[in-house]
Chains A and B, each alone.
Chain A
């Protein structure tokens, strides 16, 4: 079955460490997205990518980095520069980013906690 796989489901990070969250899709979707969810804040866009080797900052990109070397993979690195990284992170994809009435597929999320 096609879908998005996020791993790990739970992640603990010590202060000052970088961590990478994995997002893999086998839907052959062009565009991929990373959202951050905090209680009462809804989902806020961190980064997005429409094609391989290209990505754009979202609304809260500071302290995060991404890469898009393969169509199916869009890993997110939470760097030590992110001061408040504890949150729930969701990855999503869609077939064609700029046209049409296409829906989004979401992964099951990664819950990151700083210890």
Chain B
């Protein structure tokens, strides 16, 4: 069964638009960790954020913000005033405390920002 669902396969926006990337997850533990990674065309995964299950505060970092809602098992990612450099594949990932460190990844969302 899929642990992390990113329903949006591809999203295209024009520069300066806001865009939200959705992430829904399944849990079997009460303690777990959620991640977002960015994969630019170069291929390397770039860490964006980590959130544990006990911290439901939303977070803002510059143009990036994350909305964590345990009630709906969602951890959505919003980019405000998107830029061409934001074009990449974005992955949501889940780690349970009992799974000895392995990450479960969603299938990723390809974001294209047009000038």
Known: A42-B91, A58-B102. A90 touches B35 (CB 8 A): no
- Chain-A contact segment, one of B14-22, B39-47, B56-64, B75-83: B39-47
- Contact residues in B for A33 (Cβ distance below 8 Å): 101-103
Work out how many contacts link A and B, with CB atoms closer than 8 A.
62
Interface residues on B, range: 20 to 34
Contacts of A104 in B (CB 8 A): 35, 47, 103
Q: Find chain B residues with CB under 8 A from A98 CB.
A: 97, 100-101
Q: Hey, what's the 0/1 contact readout for A96-111 against B, CB within 8 Å counting as 1?
A: 1111011111111101
- A50 with B101, Cβ < 8 A, contacts A106-B44, A108-B44, A109-B43 known: yes
The 6 closest A-B pairs by CB, nearest first: A97-B101, A42-B107, A106-B45, A109-B43, A43-B105, A108-B44
A40 contacts across to B, CB distance below 8 A: 9, 107-108
Residues of B at under 8 Å CB distance from A? 6, 9, 33, 35, 37, 42-45, 47, 50, 52, 91, 97, 100-103, 105-108
